[in-house]
Amino acid sequence: MGLKKIMHPCKYDLQRHPDGDPLSSFLLHRSAYSGHLDFFTSPRVKLLPTSVEESTVKKEDTVQSKKQKTRTIFSRTQLYVLSDRSQRQKYLSFQQMRELSNFLNFCYKQVKTWFQNQRMKCKRQQENNWPMNSNSVTQNSSATIEYLGFYAYSQGFLMNAFGNLPTWSSQTWYNPHWSN
């Protein structure tokens, strides 16, 4: 009727990770976490040590309560998993994306969007005759191994081998709104 399309409530919602990334904590624990791991020493890593946590502050009550597009800041771990996957596989199917989103704890839509943007970015670089130097992400990282092994990703099974998920399992900071 009068309403063309219901605005999804998930659209303009504050979309920040309360925590930098639970994933990394988990991964750190899983791997030989000796003191401080350099972990993701991606060449493109920007200096944001506490930034992640700082970024958490959302402008919730700012007067600018207009339709602000929220730009999600993915944690380095999440980005790593995403890039790693994108390098192997350019296109994922629903299932794969859903599984991935499930693992990373954000919705399918976000994964899809990320992959899309990633493809465009990649394309850009090729068109610009980029030197194609440094391989972006570090080739090998325990993260991938852990991540693959833990979730038996290739198998298509979504089960955690350890049974007990840390507090961050989901629900704490998972927005049901975004599961679109």
Partner DNA sequence: TATCCATTCATG
Partner DNA sequence: CATGAATGGATA
Told to check if 177 binds DNA by CB under 7 A, we report: no
Told to check if 15 binds DNA by CB under 7 A, we report: yes
Binds DNA (CB under 7 A): choice among 33, 123, 145, 157: 123
Distance CA 105, CA 174 (A): 7
Contact assessment for residue 27 and residue 162, using Cβ atoms and an 8 Å cutoff: no
Interface mask toward DNA for 86-105; x: CB under 7 A: -----xx-x-----------
Dihedral sign for Cα 54, 60, 63, 68, please.
positive
Told to check if 29 binds DNA by CB under 7 A, we report: no
Told to check if 4 binds DNA by CB under 7 A, we report: no
- Within 8 A by CB and 6+ apart from 142, the residues are 27, 30, 31, 32
CA distances from 71 to 59, 78, 135, 141, 170 (A): 12, 15, 26, 27, 21
Binds DNA (CB under 7 A): choice among 41, 65, 68, 170: 68
Told to check if 137 binds DNA by CB under 7 A, we report: no
Binds DNA (CB under 7 A): choice among 65, 119, 157, 177: 119
Told to check if 51 binds DNA by CB under 7 A, we report: yes
When the beta carbons of 29 and 119 are compared against DNA, the nearer one is 119
